[in-house]
Chains A and B, each alone.
Chain A
């Protein structure tokens, strides 16, 4: 399976934050949800892919091309959707098209007009007056009009109402029907990932915590609940984000070791949202100590 995007050992250091050895790959024909808490490094990774941030080390290839030396060729074939509009807000859709068209060899004006109509975007109003959902659609229309093979979205659904989010996800689902394309979709709204992603990469504190198929992630962990006294020490050491409450404990646990647990401990499937929460709890060392018992 050919990878449309491949990141190997990406390191990037800023004051107070660092991406450390970030590696993952996205095969053609799939959507990858790129999730993590705010500040986990998702945007820095995306900026590195786009060569907007200069990486300290590591290698990024898009369409098999180097992200630094072949950045112009890559961007001809790449669409980007940021959480805010990157186009001139005082211009209308037609003026924006006039601006962008010369930069793309494959720009298709008929396709742009068709998408603008399909997305119900007014072509005589400044883009800055659009709702957030309309701005997202405009950026997607731009990406589709130059026949982008890979769309990178950075937190596109944050701040969108449920209807606009649903529309956006439908557009992406339709886009990926062509198996030569790919979508990298950064978000902290995991419900969106649960709905459309095939692959998931979880970034936590600048490091890849998990990368693989969505099913592999959700099958890998379970949430366990019960009386902490019933939990064997060997099982306790494998708990992630263990937290003891007044009426029992909760933790995430490797599904493959669930057989070690006594029957009195309840187990249930972990959602991506829960996985993120327990990773964060683990990070805060919320262990079963007298001090953090609520």
Chain B
């Protein structure tokens, strides 16, 4: 476990050792979320891309052949690093969203009769539970996507990432359309997305924890699959 934590730190320092680009994204998300509308705090999702995508380009594979670490832990740590980035970014987003609703700082920045304020008026009335849940769902979706792409890239090669993306999206779209087509013809039951719109705090928190745990489990599973494939390969 200690080795995995060291490797996660290693990856983090590799990405943001020189210029903390992610701080710019974080500042942007905080400013947009606090002064415009809490929804804009989701802008922080870009931190995930900033802290994960350059990792492949900035890491020389040979270093893992020199470091005293197990080959399997390298893959496990990489996927857990992705999850950690997702989780921390989600916490920041939710914090910015909650502060935005509480402080309503936009009233000092934007004219209250402007069309933008009118359109986003409802967002300032969002209950805390809704903000927490939106954060969890958005980051779970983006996190799962990034974990999947990382695993597939490690298994099938970085050069095939675009192919993997196109094929995966194609399969996903086909499945969704197929499901709706079957539902429309009463072959499968129609899904109902209507739920409780009051978002009480405790159940929302529990759901949020479940979403985050689900992505954590996914990171562990993908990490294990990648580790098994990687351990048979040469560096």
Q: Which residues of A come within 8 Å of B, CB atoms?
A: 47, 50-54, 71-76, 80, 82, 85-92, 95, 98-100, 102-104, 126
Question: Which one, B13, B18, B70, contacts A126 given CB within 8 A?
Answer: B18
Q: What residues of chain B lie closer than 8 Å to A50, measured between beta carbons?
A: 65-66
Asked if B63 contacts A86 (CB within 8 A), the reply is: yes
Q: What residues of chain A lie closer than 8 Å to B234, measured between beta carbons?
A: 47, 52-54
Asked if B17 contacts A91 (CB within 8 A), the reply is: yes
A-B contact pairs, 6 of them (CB 8 A): A51-B65, A52-B65, A52-B234, A72-B68, A76-B68, A88-B60
Please name the residue on chain A nearest to B2 by beta carbon.
A102
Q: What residues of chain B lie closer than 8 Å to A88, measured between beta carbons?
A: 14, 17, 58-60, 63
Tell me, rounded to whole Å, the shortest Cβ–Cβ distance linking A238 to chain B: 41
B166 in contact (CB, < 8 A):
no
Asked if B68 contacts A99 (CB within 8 A), the reply is: no
Please name the residue on chain B nearest to A91 by beta carbon.
B17
Q: What residues of chain B lie closer than 8 Å to A80, measured between beta carbons?
A: 65-66
Question: Which one, A75, A85, A95, contacts B67 given CB within 8 A?
Answer: A75
Q: What residues of chain B lie closer than 8 Å to A104, measured between beta carbons?
A: 68
Tell me, rounded to whole Å, the shortest Cβ–Cβ distance linking B195 to chain A: 46
Q: Report the separation of the CA atoms of residues A95 and B66 in the bound assembly, to the nearest whole angstrom.
A: 18
Q: Which residues of B come within 8 Å of A, CB atoms?
A: 6, 9-10, 13-14, 17-18, 58-60, 62-63, 65-70, 232, 234-235
Please name the residue on chain B nearest to A142 by beta carbon.
B66
Please name the residue on chain A nearest to B11 by beta carbon.
A99
Q: What residues of chain A lie closer than 8 Å to B235, measured between beta carbons?
A: 47, 52-53
Q: What residues of chain B lie closer than 8 Å to A95, measured between beta carbons?
A: 13, 17-18
* Known interface pairs A47-B65, A90-B58, A99-B14; 18 further A-B residue pairs with C-beta atoms within 8 A, sorted by A's residue number: A47-B234, A51-B65, A52-B234, A52-B235, A72-B69, A75-B69, A76-B68, A86-B63, A87-B63, A88-B17, A88-B58, A89-B60, A91-B13, A91-B18, A92-B18, A99-B9, A104-B68, A126-B18
Question: Which one, B13, B18, B68, contacts A73 given CB within 8 A?
Answer: B68
Q: What residues of chain A lie closer than 8 Å to B10, measured between beta carbons?
A: 99, 102-103
Q: What residues of chain A lie closer than 8 Å to B68, measured between beta carbons?
A: 71-76, 103-104
Q: What residues of chain A lie closer than 8 Å to B17, measured between beta carbons?
A: 88, 90-92, 95, 98-99
Tell me, rounded to whole Å, the shortest Cβ–Cβ distance linking B42 to chain A: 29
Asked if A103 contacts B18 (CB within 8 A), the reply is: no
Asked if A102 contacts B9 (CB within 8 A), the reply is: yes
Q: What residues of chain A lie closer than 8 Å to B65, measured between beta carbons?
A: 47, 50-52, 80, 86
Please name the residue on chain A nearest to B234 by beta carbon.
A53
Question: Which one, A86, A92, A102, contacts B66 given CB within 8 A?
Answer: A86
Q: Report the separation of the CA atoms of residues A47 and B58 in the bound assembly, to the nearest whole angstrom.
A: 22
Q: Report the separation of the CA atoms of residues A85 and B63 in the bound assembly, to the nearest whole angstrom.
A: 9
